[in-house]
Structure 1
Amino acid sequence: MKIIIVGCGKVGVSLAERLSSEGHDLVMVDMNPQKVEHLSNQFDALGIVGNGASFNIQQEAGVESADLFIAVTGEDELNLLCCLMAKKTGHCDTIARVRNPLYNKEIRFIQEKLGLSMIINPELTAAREILKLLKFPSAIKIDTFAKGRVELLRFRLKPEIGFGGKTVMDIMRQLKCDVLICAVERGSEVVIPNGSFVLQDTDILSIVGSLENTAQFFEKIGLRSKSVKNSLIIGGGTIAHYLAQDLLKIGFRVRIIEQRKERCDYLSEVIPGADIINGDGSDRDLLLEEGLTYADSLVALTGLDEENIFLALYGKLHSNAKLIAKVNKIAFDDVIDSFGIDSIIYPKYLTADYILQYVRARQNTIGCNVETLYKILDGRAEALEFSIKEDSPVTNVPLMDLNLKDNLLICCINRNGQILTPRGQNIIKVGDTVILVTTNRGLGDIRDILKS
């Protein structure tokens, strides 16, 4: 596909990285010539310096022959104008980033009236991701499928759980839980395990199953599965705004520490149920005074990655809280993971996943669609949900008889809302959605799961 990306900030770079790796023809547009030159060389893309809303710039970018136009500049109104111009000038699908909470209640109206294919909001997406983690604090990361009926949860295997030295098959027999262990991370190695795979303490496991079954699994292994009830949020930006609103709706006590007085005044007005504290979130005495020691959760959402990481580490020393830190720029994922912070949120990656899911769905060649797609395990594997709309070589054949690619596991079948944990005799039918995890890259069609 030919894809034009307007805006070479964090989200634009993340998108270019993902889409370039899948072989798409990219055009990068930005007002900053240094950024354009750097990214065009890095991703072998055509780079254009200029205003993405300009008719002439869009013509130079080739909008008339483009398949997809994505506007992710830092200004909502500019993104909407870019997409509106692209719709009038070309015949491509359009995606705009719109972040301002003032527009959130009008998002469907805006999308419909402007004819946009998708509106993305990285801050709202990040807030919803944090909300899921606070509801299920034992997990490092949670991805959902089948319209929320199925969860893929990632968690660290602690010695006290007692799984070290046991096979996956032994554990499943012992627990009698209808979930699948679909991936194991051991250092830099990622394994899609079979039943004879032997686990070790400190492995990071990913399990998949229905909401009820995953909760039962965590209960049986002695990890807390109930949500926390209060949250101390450091940083009062847009993510904190969205998150606080959602937490208050489900009965949380919410405290936000924000350094800017005018921002505190604004938050007090728009989120009257939250306690807004005007102060420096990196002040240790203030954190302890505001109840860090007794907090159920600490969410670090300042504008500095380093500060968020250190705040989470400080919280680890002084509390048993669920620790969540937002990271925007730092690229040393493996180093951050070694710190033992419960969960790290990368808003730019969350946004890129949603757009990549849309691109994959548009590329389908037969009667199936990529309903959901996540880059998981720090981008080393993918979890996908396919909607099966027509017969194909994978339908009506027992799973045990399918010649599946290596390092691929069919994790779940959603049949009219009934969640099936796959066994060898199960078959895939038209109308199902099928969830799988694989280290193979770029699956865009259900037939891609088979060896050629």
Structure 2
Amino acid sequence: MKIVIVGDGKVGLALTARLSRAGHDVVVIDRDPRVLEESLQTYDVMVVQGNGACKSVLEEAGIDTADLLIAATSSDEINLLCCMVANKMANVHTIARVRSPEYAGQLNFLKDELGLSMTINPEMAAAREIDHLLQFPSFLKRDRFAKGRVEIVELKICADSPLRGKPLSQLYKLIRVKVLVCAVERRGMVYIPSGAFTLEEGDKISVTADSKDLVTLLKNLGLTTERTRSALIIGGSRIAYYLARRLLSSGITVKIIEQDITRCEELAALLPKATIINADGSRQDILRAEGITSTDAVVTLTDMDEENLIISMYATHVGVPKSITKINRAEYVDTFSDLGIDTVISPKDLCCTDIVRYVRAMENTTGGAVQTLHYIVEGKAEALEFVATSATRHLDEPLTQVPIKPNILLSCILRGGKTIIPQGSDCIRLGDTVIVVTTAEQTIRDLGDIFAG
């Protein structure tokens, strides 16, 4: 596919990396020649300098032959204008990044009136993800499939875990709930495990489970099932605003610490039920004074990755049950994971994943196209949702007889509202929803791609 990306900032650069790596024909438009030079040198892409809302610039980028335009500049208005002009010039799908809370309530209206294929809001997506994690604090990550009926959750194997030193073949015997470990991260490596795989302390495991079994899973593992009652948010960003609204509506007590007095006044007016503190949230004495040792969760949302990481490390040190860290640079994740920084959120990556999922759905397939895609194990593996069609091979054959490629695992089958954690005697039937996990190196666009031969 030919994809035009307008804006080569954090989101634009991340999209360029992912889409060019997937083999798409990418054209990048930006005003700054320096950032374009970086993209040109690093990735196999074409670059055009100029204003992406300008007709002549879009013509130079080849909009008439493009399949998709993604507008991801720092300005919501320019992004919307880019999409409007592109729609007038060509038969092209358009995606606009719209971040301002002022537009949040009218995204569906904008989408319909301006002919947008999709709108993305990285800050709102991050707030939604953090809220989802705080519902079950013991999970490091949660990804939903099949309209929320199935989840892939991430857990860490601690010294006292009943799974430590046990092969996965004994999983059901140990926890008495039907789940499947579909990926394991160990010392920076990712494994798609078999039943003989033995878990070790420090492993991070991705587990497929029916959503209604999550509480039982935690209880049988001896982990807390209590939900968050209070949250301390450091930094009064857009994400903090979106998150506070969600938490307050769930009955969670919210306190936000923000240095800028003007922003504090804005938040106080927007969030009358929250407590807004004008102070430096990176100072330990301030954190102690504002009750960090008695809160259920700390969420660090400042503009500095380093500051977020240090505050989260301190929160873990003083015994806060759950800390969530916002970062922009993913290279920090592995470095700090051994220091108590387990749950990180990257608005940029969440945004990119939504767009890549849309691109996958656009691609021509022979049946069984990707319905939902999530990057798991810090992007080292993918979990993909398909629907089996009449074009899908090996329907109604026992899985023991189906040739599946290496490093691919069928983690779940949904049939008529029933969740099946597959065993060798199970099969894929017409209309089934199938969730597949594989390493990130393998590109799977179609359910048929998982079969060997």
Question: Following the alignment from structure 1 to structure 2, what is the Cα–Cα distance between the partners of residues 210 and 226?
Answer: 19
- Once the two structures are superposed, residues 227-276 of structure 1 have per-residue CA deviations (whole angstroms, 9 ceiling, x without a partner) of 11110000011100110000011110000011111111111111111111
Residue 353 (structure 1) aligned with residue 353 (structure 2): yes
Give 1:205's aligned residue: 205
Residue 411 (structure 1) aligned with residue 411 (structure 2): yes
Q: Report the CA distance between 1:165 and its aligned residue.
A: 1.9
Aligned-residue sequence identity (percent) comes to 44
Q: Report the CA distance between 1:430 and its aligned residue.
A: 2.4
Aligned AA (1:8): D
Point out 4+ residue stretches in structure 1 off by more than 4 angstroms.
none
Give 1:280's aligned residue: 280
Q: What SS does the aligned partner of 1:302 have?
A: coil
Give 2:173's aligned residue: 173
Give 1:338's aligned residue: 338
Q: How do 1:37-186 and structure 2 match up within 5 A?
A: 37-186=37-186
Question: Following the alignment from structure 2 to structure 1, what is the Cα–Cα distance between the partners of residues 189 and 321?
Answer: 29
Give 2:452's aligned residue: 451
Q: Is the 8 A contact 2:368 2:448 kept in 1?
A: no
Question: Following the alignment from structure 1 to structure 2, what is the Cα–Cα distance between the partners of residues 176 and 163?
Answer: 12
- Once the two structures are superposed, residues 71-104 of structure 1 have per-residue CA deviations (whole angstroms, 9 ceiling, x without a partner) of 0011111101001111111111000101111111
Q: What SS does the aligned partner of 2:233 have?
A: strand
Q: What SS does the aligned partner of 2:16 have?
A: helix
- Once the two structures are superposed, residues 391-421 of structure 1 have per-residue CA deviations (whole angstroms, 9 ceiling, x without a partner) of 4213222222210011111111122332221
Question: Following the alignment from structure 2 to structure 1, what is the Cα–Cα distance between the partners of residues 282 and 256?
Answer: 13
Segments of structure 1 that go 5 or more residues without pairing to the other structure are: none
Question: Following the alignment from structure 2 to structure 1, what is the Cα–Cα distance between the partners of residues 184 and 110?
Answer: 42
Question: Following the alignment from structure 1 to structure 2, what is the Cα–Cα distance between the partners of residues 364 and 291?
Answer: 54
Aligned AA (2:43): F
TM-score of the two chains, using structure 2 as the length reference: 0.97
- Once the two structures are superposed, residues 23-56 of structure 1 have per-residue CA deviations (whole angstroms, 9 ceiling, x without a partner) of 1111011111100111122111111111100000
Q: How do 1:391-410 and structure 2 match up within 5 A?
A: 391-410=391-410
Segments of structure 2 that go 5 or more residues without pairing to the other structure are: none
Aligned AA (2:155): F
Aligned AA (1:43): Y
**CA, structure 1 residues 446+330, in 2 after alignment: closer, same or farther (shift >3 Å)?**
closer
Question: Following the alignment from structure 1 to structure 2, what is the Cα–Cα distance between the partners of residues 316 and 392?
Answer: 48
Question: Alignment length, in residue pairs?
Answer: 452
- Once the two structures are superposed, residues 330-358 of structure 1 have per-residue CA deviations (whole angstroms, 9 ceiling, x without a partner) of 52332022322230111111111111111
Question: Following the alignment from structure 1 to structure 2, what is the Cα–Cα distance between the partners of residues 416 and 46?
Answer: 46
Give 1:31's aligned residue: 31
Question: Following the alignment from structure 2 to structure 1, what is the Cα–Cα distance between the partners of residues 366 and 273?
Answer: 50
Question: Following the alignment from structure 1 to structure 2, what is the Cα–Cα distance between the partners of residues 382 and 91?
Answer: 31
Aligned AA (2:452): K
Aligned AA (1:451): A
Q: What SS does the aligned partner of 1:365 have?
A: coil
Q: Is the 8 A contact 1:394 1:447 kept in 2?
A: no
Question: Following the alignment from structure 1 to structure 2, what is the Cα–Cα distance between the partners of residues 271 and 414?
Answer: 41
Q: Report the CA distance between 1:385 and its aligned residue.
A: 0.5
Question: Following the alignment from structure 1 to structure 2, what is the Cα–Cα distance between the partners of residues 88 and 395?
Answer: 44
314-323 or 203-212, larger mean C-alpha shift: 314-323
Q: Is the 8 A contact 1:208 1:214 kept in 2?
A: no
**CA, structure 1 residues 254+168, in 2 after alignment: closer, same or farther (shift >3 Å)?**
same
347-356 or 327-336, larger mean C-alpha shift: 327-336
Aligned AA (2:181): I
Q: Is the 8 A contact 1:322 1:342 kept in 2?
A: no
Q: Is the 8 A contact 2:140 2:153 kept in 1?
A: yes
Question: Following the alignment from structure 2 to structure 1, what is the Cα–Cα distance between the partners of residues 320 and 342?
Answer: 11
Q: Is the 8 A contact 1:305 1:330 kept in 2?
A: no
Q: What SS does the aligned partner of 2:194 have?
A: coil
Backbone CA RMSD of aligned residues:
1.2
Q: What SS does the aligned partner of 1:351 have?
A: helix
Question: Following the alignment from structure 1 to structure 2, what is the Cα–Cα distance between the partners of residues 432 and 273?
Answer: 45
Give 2:6's aligned residue: 6
Q: What SS does the aligned partner of 1:338 have?
A: helix
Q: What SS does the aligned partner of 1:95 have?
A: strand
Q: How do 1:275-354 and structure 2 match up within 5 A?
A: 275-329=275-329, 331-354=331-354
Aligned AA (1:223): L
TM-score of the two chains, using structure 1 as the length reference: 0.98
Aligned AA (2:112): E
Q: Is the 8 A contact 1:51 1:57 kept in 2?
A: yes
Give 1:268's aligned residue: 268
Question: Following the alignment from structure 2 to structure 1, what is the Cα–Cα distance between the partners of residues 240 and 71?
Answer: 24
Q: Report the CA distance between 1:365 and its aligned residue.
A: 1.4
Question: Following the alignment from structure 1 to structure 2, what is the Cα–Cα distance between the partners of residues 311 and 94?
Answer: 39
Aligned AA (2:227): S
Question: Following the alignment from structure 2 to structure 1, what is the Cα–Cα distance between the partners of residues 442 and 120?
Answer: 24
Q: Is the 8 A contact 1:179 1:209 kept in 2?
A: yes
Question: Following the alignment from structure 1 to structure 2, what is the Cα–Cα distance between the partners of residues 210 and 86?
Answer: 42
**CA, structure 1 residues 330+195, in 2 after alignment: closer, same or farther (shift >3 Å)?**
closer
- Once the two structures are superposed, residues 191-237 of structure 1 have per-residue CA deviations (whole angstroms, 9 ceiling, x without a partner) of 11111111111111110111122321111011113311110000011
Q: Is the 8 A contact 2:368 2:392 kept in 1?
A: no
Q: Is the 8 A contact 1:235 1:301 kept in 2?
A: yes
Q: What SS does the aligned partner of 2:370 have?
A: strand
Question: Following the alignment from structure 1 to structure 2, what is the Cα–Cα distance between the partners of residues 255 and 165?
Answer: 41
Q: Is the 8 A contact 2:4 2:61 kept in 1?
A: yes
Q: Is the 8 A contact 2:136 2:227 kept in 1?
A: yes
Q: Report the CA distance between 1:161 and its aligned residue.
A: 1.1
Question: Following the alignment from structure 2 to structure 1, what is the Cα–Cα distance between the partners of residues 330 and 191?
Answer: 26
Q: Report the CA distance between 1:318 and its aligned residue.
A: 1.6
Question: Following the alignment from structure 1 to structure 2, what is the Cα–Cα distance between the partners of residues 433 and 364?
Answer: 19
Give 2:232's aligned residue: 232
- Once the two structures are superposed, residues 80-138 of structure 1 have per-residue CA deviations (whole angstroms, 9 ceiling, x without a partner) of 10011111111110001011111111111110111111101111111111111111111
Question: Following the alignment from structure 2 to structure 1, what is the Cα–Cα distance between the partners of residues 115 and 152?
Answer: 33
Q: Is the 8 A contact 1:181 1:208 kept in 2?
A: yes
127-136 or 391-400, larger mean C-alpha shift: 391-400
Give 1:425's aligned residue: 425
